[in-house]
């Protein structure tokens, strides 16, 4: 009996970090809800990061970003943010582990689908390319088609009654 308990305890000690590693990443909370765009840069004044932020601030790009249910993660050095709000240390370290990015790496742009799979990994951000990649995804095609099919045709407008003598309505049969 003690051997079984010891074996079970050992298995739990080995397996616990594996299960915790899956659940502690901030990307896990977005799975099925949004499409994370992760920008990884070695320092805040990185020219690629600065240009990416500028591109995403343009109203047309911001609108397209929001329409596609995207969230922006930035990982600059050892500081992580989600939609410009700081992540805690544990979440930031989970992102660093997930992308195998230590201090001093090169700038990367990674697009993650709603299914949690990596869809794109590039050195720069071309918004048209990212939006086109998302629009080709089966889930996005269903999202784009749903509002059109859900819309009901407009009912024909009712005719206003015609006024007869003395302002009394005349009924058409």
Report, in angstroms and rounded to the nearest whole number, the Rg of the chain calculated over CA atoms. Answer: 26
Task: State the chain's mean pLDDT as an integer.
Answer: 77
pLDDT tens digit sequence for 54-106: 988 999 999 999 999 999 999 998 899 999 999 999 999 998 888 875 545 78
Q: Which of 65, 63, 83 is nearest to 74 (CA)?
A: 83
Q: Are 160 and 172 in contact (CB under 8 A)?
A: no
15-137 to CATH, choices 3.30.470.20, 3.90.180.10, 1.20.1370.20, 3.40.30.10: 3.40.30.10
Provide the pLDDT for residue 79.
92
Query: Comparing 168 with 91, which gets the higher pLDDT?
Result: 91
The domain spans of the chain are 15-137
**In the chain, how long is the greatest CA-to-CA distance?**
102
pLDDT for position 20: 47
Q: Tell me how far CA of residue 49 lies from CA of 20, 61, 69, in angstroms.
A: 31, 16, 21
Across 100-128, average pLDDT: 82
């Amino acid at each position: 009996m003690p051997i079984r308990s010891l074996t079970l305890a050992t298995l739990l000690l080995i397996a616990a970090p594996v299960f915790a590693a899956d659940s502690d990443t901030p990307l896990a909370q977005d799975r099925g809800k949004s499409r994370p765009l992760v920008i990884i840069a070695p320092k805040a004044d990185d020219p690629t990061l600065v240009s990416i932020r500028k591109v995403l601030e343009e109203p047309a790009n911001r609108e397209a970003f929001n329409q596609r249910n995207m969230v922006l993660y930035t990982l600059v050095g050892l500081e992580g943010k989600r939609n410009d709000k700081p992540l805690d240390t544990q979440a930031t370290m989970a992102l660093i582990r997930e992308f195998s990015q230590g201090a001093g790496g090169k700038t990367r742009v990674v697009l993650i689908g709603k299914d949690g799979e990596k869809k794109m990994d590039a050195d720069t951000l071309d918004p048209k390319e990212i939006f086109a990649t998302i629009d080709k995804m089966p889930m996005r095609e269903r999202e784009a088609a749903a509002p059109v099919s859900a819309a009901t045709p407009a009912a024909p407008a009712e005719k206003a009654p015609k006024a007869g003598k003395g302002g009394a309505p005349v009924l058409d049969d």
